[in-house]
Amino acid sequence: MNICDLNLQWIRSQIGNVSQESSLFNGTIAENIAYGDTSRQISLNEIVEAAKSANAHQFIEKLPQQYETNCGNKGIQLFGGQRQCIAIARIFIRNPKILLLDELTSALGMYNTILTKA
């Protein structure tokens, strides 16, 4: 199939990308995860399941405000690995068919989780 014949928006919806410098915005953890799919209303249950799949749920549950914890501008309130786990959970909300991870992201221990989820 010629890739030029495919709808660009559809192709993009099939790919999830998490880079080393994950970009989070100044909002709650739940809002940052839900931002992965702005085409629909995301339930808290879906957010929690995505966080569990991304190995983020355990550290989120230990935070004083849990999923209502503010990430701060560019996720400054979280550690680097935590930011990446939130970014991966954001991708899982969309359920893409293809995941692109840089080397450092895959070294977070996500590799087995992602292969299992796929």
Which of the 8 DSSP states describes residue 106? Answer: I
Domain with 72 in it: 3-117
Residue pair 78/71 in contact by the 8 Å Cβ criterion: yes
The total domain count for the chain is 1
Cα 104 to Cα 73, 74, 109, 110, distances in angstroms:
22, 19, 10, 10
Tens-digit pLDDT profile for residues 22-71? 778 888 999 999 998 888 899 999 999 999 988 899 989 998 899 998 88
Question: CA-to-CA distance for 24 and 38, rounded, in angstroms?
Answer: 15
CATH code, domain carrying 104: 3.40.50.300
Rounded Cα gap, residues 55 and 61, in angstroms: 11
Say if residues 75 and 24 touch (Cβ distance below 8 Å). Answer: yes
Task: Tell me the pTM.
Answer: 0.76
